Structure 1
Amino acid sequence: MQQDKDNKGSMTVAEAGRKGGETVRNERGREFYETIGRKGGATVKAERGRSFYEEIGRKGGETVKAERGAKFYEEIGKKGGDRVKATRGPNFYEEIGRKGGQKVKKLIEEGKRAARALQEAQAGAAAAPAAPAAPAAEEERAPVAADEATPERTE
């Protein structure tokens, strides 16, 4: 640390940064950091898009898994489940299970209806005789006699 100091009594870059950060915190407060954090996050999102966050999240998850193991995820999952149970009560899981089951049932019924409608449409198309082709544009006009084709001029 002593090597980072240029002159006797001066501070290191780390010390100066820490001192400056403390001064800003004391002058502007926590909200300032929240505001600039949100602005920075919005800028990164606009510049890099959603895939950037997906990528860094995946990399972070892989790093945590390598450092702490799969058991870590089991532990934090259990802690989270216990916290939800404590705050929302044990009936919460029954409720979301019932809602999920109802949603699945509804989706299955919609899928079956769509499949039946498709089969009926295909069966109806196969049973119906083919319609004659529409006449071409020139066939639609009535034939014109040669003397009617050009109007006579009377001058």
Structure 2
Amino acid sequence: MLSRCNTILFVGILGSAALGTAPATASAQPLDIAAKSCGFEFTWSTPMVTSPQITALGFAQCDAPPDEHTLTLALEYDNHGRWENAAYRTDRSIPPGPPNYTSYETSAACYAGKWRMSVSILGNLRGTPFAFSDHSQPREVPSSQCPSR
């Protein structure tokens, strides 16, 4: 079962919340947030190495479908202290409700170094925009698994 990340509603400003912590919500009007939430999880806690590739995989489902849902799953690598995209996939489909889900995957050529997965979700629920972003724990890939850059 997916852990749930309540839809984050905006009142004039954008925000984000960390998955796995208490949900954050803001609303100009009372809504039944629990019935209007989507959940996302990374399949693994770090990217998976299947040399010569590195892969990010996640899945999402929504209790109630939002009007819009744009999810971008990315693989990022540490370039001298700055996270940069190596690959990403954007999907605009609406995730189904439980017990079904939508899977997301992206892969890149694997190189030694520090990698992580990231997700960004933008959408609209009953006329109210929402956003969510998160990233996995970093994974140090040794040169014994993938070549150096």
- Measured against the shorter chain, the TM-score band is under 0.3
- TM-score normalised according to structure 2 size: 0.17
- TM-score normalised according to structure 1 size: 0.16
Structure scoring higher RCO (CA < 8 A, sep ≥ 6) equals: 2
Give the number of the structure whose residues are more often helix, by fraction.
1
Give the number of the structure whose residues are more often strand, by fraction.
2
